[in-house]
Amino acid sequence: MKHALIIDTEAEKKEILNRYKSLLRACKSTLQKGDKKEIRKAFELAVECHKDMRRKSGEPYIYHPIAVAQIAAEEIGLGTTSIVCALLHDVVEDTDITLEDIEREFGKKTAKIIDGLTKIAGVFDTNSSLQAENFRKMLLTLADDVRVIIIKLADRLHNMRTMDFMPGHKQLKIASETIYLYAPLAHRLGLYAIKSELEDLSMKYLEPETYKLIANNLNEKKAERTLFVKDFISPINEILKEQGLSASVFGRPKSIHSIWNKMKSKNIPFEEVYDLFAIRVVLDSHSDQEKADCWKAYSIVTDLYRPNPDRLRDWISSPKGNGYESLHTTVMGPRGQWVEVQIRTQRMNEIAEKGFAAHWKYKESNNDNGLDLWIQNVREMLSNPESNALDFLDDFKMNLFSDEIFIFTPKGALLQLPLGATALDFAFEIHTDVGAKCIGAKVNQKLVPLATKLQNGDQVEIITSSKQAPKEDWLNIVVTSKAKSKIKSSLKEEKRKIAEIGKEILERKLKSLKITYNTENLEKIAYYFKLQATQDLFVAVANAKIELKDLKEFLNDENALDTNNPKIQEEFVAQKSKSGEKDVLLIGEDMQLIDYNLAKCCNPIPGDDVFGFTTINDGIKIHRTNCPNATQLMANYGYRMVKAKWNSDQQLTFLTNLHIIGIDAVGLINNITQVISNDFKVNMRSITVETEDGIFDGMISIYIKDTNHLENLIKNLLEVNGVTSVTRYDG
């Protein structure tokens, strides 16, 4: 018998009021005359609308809009309009209140922002067939009001902070969307504090073991780090004071996610990550003294501690595209370890923490138009009708993460491009026609190939020819979304024209062979010549890759083909070959035995956390939840995910890969293979070994039963004399 939940409504009312008062305190610095009244009105409407609603945790739903408004006010620094919109962000979607009601009570601007928030509320709806397409629509709202996106980020941050009560598969899906889309978006808007927290919270659900391990390690060494920071900053403070510079100097711990990235990229354990924190020097400077004060502080720090000349980053002279300004240097600390030092002013620090929201506060800032320029670029990317939504999403994500370089035109105008951009990207950045007709480039007066990567401060001149047209291999040269989409668009149009010619030629040839020209026969011919679509067939005919003699061969062989659609026939053959396998996975909500394939990108084995993914042509594919492709699949196709768990009764073997590093010695390979083959009775599929300067580097593919079996094998391999590291890698 279920017990009814007893709710203390009086205590809840009191708590709601306390949270509201806390929100008002957070807004205090931005409140104008009459603002308090507006916020009160929005709060009362939200309380009334959500009075019968509760969150998964059992708490009153109103806690959520108040928390989102609190984040917007306190952590981002938004004003009254945004606070009102944050309080009301769910009312139009979840209750009977209409946009007309909002406009009548709070005005046009508020109604427009809430309309934007309502439209994008379903961007990652589980039942939506193409999240990427919806995300594209969401970004279009940027042009109306950037606050729509910022409030959406605050909403996502609170949901991530309170996700413990969600079922596991929902947690994985939401965390994947967050790391794939929301964290990069926060980064691009300069909201670094929020970006870091979103990454850490995503990791908590996507990589729980690693997250706990790093968090525990950080906690254990906390006292030691605090003492180190104290010793490090003490002389800096002293000299800053002597020189008449007012500043606060403190240590900032690095995020768990960034530490994990460092461990992965350098393939090192936690103990070998030296920069677990950064020292920040925040100066209280007048606007006309900012640059000089920062360099003065830099001089003080580098006089005390030896700097690494390769690690100086000057984002004060050339701020990042999202407005970030700071001086970064890495110096040798008193205990012989490298320490990162960030030097900036209070204004720069606020912009770094709160992004473009802080720009509205500093109207004299030269970077005021940065966001407008960014929105303009996003709109340009979105307006291309040819662009496939998923291609767009990958391009967009890549451009979000990249740092910027500044390139000069021959007349001295400055253009901003992502790091890694080529001369061809620059041509398309000037104008689509310049890019399409580009045959060469001069970088700093010297003729270079189109694929040349540009460096910060290069001066570039583009050489064009009216006879030039975009080529297929250009797609491998460019990195910007604008250039890619324009080249794809042009190639598509060119392919369409060639296909038209090929279509007419094929029609005539089929007539001469007395083959009926219809869709079914075209599909059979395309399948016979291993072409993906009939358009590819037309292009092959136009380019004389398929001629009359080839079509005659097809005709002679045609009877061997099943009269059914060849695609269906191919799938049937694939199904048959799979049915001989033993099922070892329980799949779906009701945990049935269903046919599946193991994904080659991550080679899951029993004991790994896995999920099923329904593919279009290849049945259900099983991926590890920490597979390199998993976050993208979950974020874009959450609706195609199915639960999966191992059935421990089965005893089959699975292919996995090990990377072994060690000090080369006589008999090392023999000792390794002995552990694998004799001690563990494991079959090896392949082994490749390289030795250089006395270092042994081997890749071994083996068949094992499950994760326990693998862990024991790794443990024993590490005991082999000379072996220093054994790691599993995705083949």
Enzyme catalytic residues = 93-94
Nearest Cα to Cα of residue 280 among 313, 250, 316: 250
439 phi and psi angles, rounded to 5 deg: -115, -15
Measured between alpha carbons, how far is residue 48 from residues 92, 360, 447 in Å?
Answer: 13, 33, 69
Residue 389 burial (CB < 10 Å; 0-12/13-18/19+)?
middle
Concatenated DSSP letters of 608-628: S-EEEEE-SSS-EEEEETT-T
Report the C-alpha gap between 425 and 420 in whole angstroms: 10
CA-nearest of 127, 105, 124, 103 to 113 is 103
In total, the chain counts a number of residues equal to 731
Q: Determine whether 616 is exposed, middle or buried from the number of CB atoms within 10 Å of its CB (0-12, 13-18, 19+).
A: exposed
Strand 247-253, strand 277-283: pairing:
antiparallel
Contact between 112 and 102 under an 8 Å Cβ cutoff? The reply is no
CB 417 within 8 A of CB 398: no
In angstroms, the CA 53 to CA 318 distance is 49
**Which of 111, 54, 120 shows the shortest CA–CA distance to 85?**
111
Residue 344's φ and ψ, nearest 5 degrees, are -160, 170
If we measure between CA atoms, which residue out of 652, 570, 658 comes closest to residue 618?
570
Distance, CA of 577 to CA of 556 (rounded, Å)? 28
Please choose, from the candidates 29, 11, 34, 684, the residue with its C-alpha nearest in 3D space to the C-alpha of residue 354.
29
Structural contact between residues 421 and 480, judged by C-beta atoms closer than 8 angstroms: yes
Residues facing 416 on adjacent strands: 406
CA 539 to chain centre: 36
Radius of gyration of the chain measured on its C-alpha atoms: 30
φ, ψ (nearest 5 deg) of residue 485: -65, -35
Give the pair of three-digit tokens for residue 236: 């800096």
Q: Report strand pairing: 327-332 vs 313-314.
A: antiparallel
Alpha helices in 207-289 (DSSP H): 208-220, 222-242, 256-266
Q: From 156, 158, 195, select the one nearest 177 (Cα to Cα).
A: 156
Closest CA to 726 of 658, 664, 657: 658
